[in-house]
Structure 1
Amino acid sequence: MGQIVELKAQDGHELDAYVATPQGEPIGAVVVVQEIFGINKSIRDVADGFAKEGFLAIAPAIFDRYEKNVILGYTGDDLQKAFALYSKLDVTTALLDVAAAFAKVSESVKKVAVTGYCYGGLMSWLAATRGEALGMLPACTFGYYPGGVGKVATEKPSCPVMLHFGGADSHIGADQRDAVREAHPDVTVYIYEGAEHGFANHFRDAYNPEAAKLAMERSLEFLKKNIG
Structure 2
Amino acid sequence: MTETRSIPTPDGPAIDVYLARPDGPVRGAVIVIHEIWGLVDHIRDVADRFAALGYLAAAPDILSRGGIEPSIGAELFAIMNSDDEEARVAAQPRMRDAITEARAPEYAGWAVGALTGVVDLVATEPGVDGRIGVIGFCFGGTFAFLLAAADPRVRAALPFYGSAPGAEQLGRITAPVLALYGQHDPSLIEALPAVEQTAREAGVALETVVYPDAAHAFFNDEGRRYHAASAADAWARVQAFLDAHLDAG
Q: TM-score, normalization: structure 2?
A: 0.82
The answer to whether structure 1 residue 183 and structure 2 residue 198 are counterparts is: yes
Unaligned runs of 5+ in 2: 81-87
- 1:206 and 1:97 map into 2 onto residues whose CA distance is 30
Amino acid paired to 1:125: F
Q: Is contact 1:200–1:211 with CA below 8 Å preserved after alignment?
A: yes
Q: 1:126 aligns with which of 146, 149, 170?
A: 146
| Cα RMSD after superposing both structures | 1.9
How many Å apart are 1:145 and its aligned residue?
A: 0.3
Q: Which moved more, 1:66-75 or 1:51-60?
A: 66-75
How many Å apart are 1:3 and its aligned residue?
A: 2.0
Q: Is contact 1:38–1:62 with CA below 8 Å preserved after alignment?
A: yes
* Greater Cα radius of gyration, structure 1 or 2: 2
Unaligned runs of 5+ in 1: none
Q: 1:218 aligns with which of 237, 241, 244?
A: 237
How many Å apart are 1:66 and its aligned residue?
A: 3.0
Q: Is contact 2:156–2:177 with CA below 8 Å preserved after alignment?
A: yes
Post-superposition CA distance 1:159-217 (Å, at most 9, x none)? 111100101114x3323211221112331000000201000000001000100010111
Q: What percentage of aligned pairs have identical amino acids?
A: 27
- Give the direction of change, closer, same or farther, for the CA distance of 1:180–1:194 in structure 2 (3 Å limit): same
How many Å apart are 1:2 and its aligned residue?
A: 2.4
Q: 2:115 aligns with which of 98, 109, 114?
A: 98
Post-superposition CA distance 1:26-81 (Å, at most 9, x none)? 10000000101011011011100000000000111001323474232322587655
How many Å apart are 1:123 and its aligned residue?
A: 0.6
- 1:87 and 1:39 map into 2 onto residues whose CA distance is 18
Q: Which moved more, 1:11-20 or 1:40-49?
A: 11-20
Q: 1:160 aligns with which of 170, 176, 185?
A: 176
Amino acid paired to 1:38: G
Q: Which moved more, 1:77-86 or 1:10-19?
A: 77-86
- Number of equivalences: 221
Runs ≥4 residues deviating over 6 A: none
